[in-house]
């Protein structure tokens, strides 16, 4: 498959992760040559935490190594939930980077379907 378009965005990664609370997943997503000047790999980390009485939220921060850490707090629905819309979290070569996620719990496992894309929303 050469490319997948979602609206005006080009999909660069999609996958399913199964993580326990506090367990992190680090993804290194290679870009095709020429997609971004000076950047060959998008590095992201995803972590789910479910403290008692926490509101559902997601936040992200850029780490000193240039990777982006996404922390999902209070995501614990057994029937599922998703981001209301894809979240823009940065830019490369004048294109926005986007993350979208659908999630549900099975027992103590966070099942997350995650998509990363680039382009205009």
The domain limits of the chain are: 5-119
Distance (Å, whole) CA 9 – CA 119: 4
pLDDT value of position 32: 62
Task: Return per-residue pLDDT of the chain as tens, 121 residues.
Answer: 678 999 999 999 999 999 999 999 999 988 765 544 455 788 999 999 988 888 889 999 999 988 999 999 999 999 999 999 999 998 877 789 999 999 999 999 999 999 999 988 6
Residues 19-49, buried b or exposed e (16+ Cβ, 10 A)?
bebeeebebeeebeeebbeeeeebebbbbbe
pTM above threshold 0.75: yes
């Amino acid at each position: 498959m050469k490319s997948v378009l979602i609206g005006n965005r080009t999909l660069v990664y999609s996958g399913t992760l199964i993580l326990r609370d506090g367990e992190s997943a680090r993804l290194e997503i290679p870009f095709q040559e020429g997609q971004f000047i000076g950047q060959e790999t998008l590095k992201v980390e995803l972590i789910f935490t479910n403290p008692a009485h926490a509101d559902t939220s997601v936040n992200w921060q850029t780490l000193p190594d240039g990777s982006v850490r996404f922390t999902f707090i209070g995501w614990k629905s057994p029937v599922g939930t998703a981001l209301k819309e894809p979240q823009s979290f940065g830019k490369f070569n004048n294109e926005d980077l986007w993350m979208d996620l659908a999630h549900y719990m099975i027992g103590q496992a966070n099942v997350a379907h995650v998509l990363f894309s680039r382009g205009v929303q």
